[in-house]
Chains A and B, each alone.
Chain A
């Protein structure tokens, strides 16, 4: 799937572009890029039993947990003790992306930054502290170390000796998609020569109990855009992309996997949890992202949906597609990789961006897994029967969040 620098140079457009020169992931669907690519292309759902904490009180007790994870496979005991589970995922995935790109050492460390999205972060460990203190114990203070979601970015910068920009976006489920767009901006403006951009998040009782209490968790693996879908399946993981100015990347002989062509971000100003029902705001953001990228709707081959599998969200995203693509909507597949990875909240946008880049390089539109039947309100092409071959060079990746925060990324090869 790698595209050589020479080929990238030939296809380079006049417009200055931000190149993706490194990929990294650590998730239930694969603990590195090759294994994740295998799951994505084979359509292997990673949603299953959870044993990270007791899920027996909840109607829906499944999710996409990273099983078989031993921090000591990646860190010394001393290092591991200082990092939350989310920090560890982030450091591992960012490390794969940076190693893959070979960017460290090519620029001053002050020219390489971290732009990431975060969510529950070290909440899982903080929950232990709260439980201990409620039980009248003192509580181990080290459990609070990763409570603030910015801790992961600092751990990544320290682990890889990066001194450039350091920022953590915390807009729930759209966090890491925005972080990728913002990272591209930081390079485009000359603030950075390279940035490792993405997100990390892990399962926690807070989010598991929270979404269950709102009754938006499916008891079976989530089935985006299907009839009878009941909601999300939670997941965890981290994904990072290394971004560079394409010209500089080519000069140093980097491999170019694709480009962040543009992005847009907005608030619906409608409701804290419910999407604006007409899809007009989601469509507005998708259109703005394409405009910012200089890409027409006709050039977009498919869309990696937010696609949570909640009854309402999937219908609204379907409506937004029709507003954006008009009569062509049926010919632009809207697929959800959350049925593969679970909804990884703060890391979701980055995992989906990475999946989109991999699929574009493979000439494939991924399958939306776990089909249960056709929903008359979801009447577009969701690739439910299986993945499709595609010559598309451009795809969108949508992320919607609590608060009405919407981000749409335009990715290309």
Chain B
């Protein structure tokens, strides 16, 4: 179960969120600790009083030629831009390395849903004549990761996960395993999400606006994971390193204690705990953790299905060199993840 000694470093990161574009804006938001959620325009839901975390500071055309940007759904725009920023942060030019050895494994929440809705809207309102074929390829959840791989020439492992509020963590665990198995030298991982008015109307219809859909956000948080040996060879910068990745699928009724013990086995010396998804409400897990500072991004920039990408990025940004952190992620019906990080550059301690 333990991944201690897996020698995986985080050689780059990128963030796009309600806080803005780039790591500095996320760091600043964490320091200020003030919510950046804004009121949802009343015309969207027919009522006011709701908040969302739109990444209003992001304009795809600031990074992608307009004609190309139009080809992508918003989720893919986030992924394409954040992937480029993360590669740059890591000092990686894919064309200068073996592209087959650079992969991308992302979590993606409602990716493709906006295109699906627009595509179907055309059909339901105008029949087959109303179909827009160009929309269809980007209705798949893997459009974001795949478009990012195409734009940046990443030909290594390429996988997308959707698993409730632990979509990004699901991707993160696979990325670590692929590096350990030597399937790649570098894997970009994390999460990407978009938020549309239609989604909010869906949350409203299902009663989620006052539950887990409250204060939803969007954006991308991407971490560049790299084999330590590879990073050392190229004198890469390292923002942190990865320790043990633990997960369980569910807390089984009547056997919750065993599940919690398994999830948190070996967690002892974290100086900072990052909470993602619905982890802040998991009392039976939180009670087992050390009484240290807790970092929760959801109240600041919003919660989303693949928010773990941004939450893990925030945790690594906040960790002091040499200090250990724990990322705890949960979904209401599972799964659960507990991931160890260490701040700073293990290559040049």
Contacts and interface: CB of A to CB of B under 8 A. Distances in A.
Interface of A: 57-58, 108-110, 113-114, 118-119, 123, 127, 129-131, 133-134, 138-139, 141, 144-145, 147-150, 153-154, 157-158, 161-172, 178, 182, 185, 189-191, 205-206, 209-214, 264-273, 281, 284, 292, 401-405
Contact of B248 (A110, A131, A206, A401): A110
Contact of B249 (A57, A118, A165, A214): A165
Contact of A402 (B140, B167, B205): B140
24 contacts: A57-B128, A133-B201, A138-B205, A141-B205, A145-B206, A154-B164, A157-B334, A165-B335, A170-B141, A170-B160, A170-B161, A205-B123, A209-B120, A210-B119, A213-B133, A264-B183, A265-B159, A266-B103, A266-B156, A266-B158, A269-B150, A272-B137, A272-B147, A405-B146
B13 interface: no
B157 interface: yes
Contacts of A109: 252, 255
B142 A405 contact: yes
Nearest to A268: B155
B222 to A, nearest CB: 15
A145 to B, nearest CB: 7
Contacts of A114: 249
Nearest to A185: B177
Contacts of B113: 147
Contact of A110 (B163, B167, B259): B259
A166 B163 contact: yes
Contacts of B162: 118, 148-150, 168, 170
Contacts of A161: 252
Given A401-B142, A403-B145, A130 B150 contact: no
Contacts of B40: none
4 cross-chain pairs, A with B, having the tightest CB-CB distances, nearest first: A403-B146, A267-B158, A166-B249, A210-B136
Given A148-B305, A166-B250, A267-B155, A214 B136 contact: yes
Given A170-B161, A272-B138, A284-B100, A163 B155 contact: no
Given A129-B205, A402-B146, A209 B131 contact: yes
B258 A108 contact: yes
A374 to B, nearest CB: 31
Given A165-B247, A404-B146, A405-B142, A265 B158 contact: yes
Given A57-B127, A213-B133, A266-B103, A130 B157 contact: no
B158 A210 contact: no
B104 interface: yes
Nearest to B251: A163
A150 B259 contact: no
Contacts of B103: 266-267
Given A110-B262, A267-B146, A171 B163 contact: no
A272 B333 contact: no
B284 interface: no
B230 interface: no
A163 B250 contact: yes
B158 A404 contact: yes
B261 to A, nearest CB: 10
B104 to A, nearest CB: 7
Interface in B191-231: 201-202, 205-207
Interface of A: prevailing SS: mixed
Interface string B100-116: 10011000111001001
Interface in B132-178: 132-133, 136-143, 145-147, 149-150, 152-164, 167, 170, 174, 177
Contacts of A141: 205-207
Contact of B124 (A134, A153, A210, A266): A134
Contacts of A148: 109-110, 162, 164, 305
A169 B174 CA distance: 11
A278 B155 CA distance: 15
Contact of A206 (B108, B119, B249): B119
A271 B153 CA distance: 11
Contacts of B280: none
A89 B183 CA distance: 33
A190 to B, nearest CB: 7
Interface in B262-298: 262
A292 B259 CA distance: 33
B121 interface: yes
Contact of B335 (A123, A139, A167, A403): A167
Contact of A266 (B1, B153, B155, B167): B155
B305 A166 contact: no
Contact of A153 (B104, B117, B163): B163
A351 to B, nearest CB: 19
A403 B136 contact: no
B134 to A, nearest CB: 9
B120 A144 contact: no
B348 interface: no
Contacts of A211: 136
Contacts of B249: 110, 113-114, 157, 162-166
B146 to A, nearest CB: 3
A265 B104 CA distance: 11
A164 B158 contact: no
Contacts of B252: 109-110, 161, 163
Given A266-B103, A273-B137, A402 B335 contact: no
Contacts of A191: 1, 247
A281 B155 contact: yes
A171 B142 contact: yes
B150 A272 contact: yes
Contact of A403 (B132, B156, B158, B206): B158
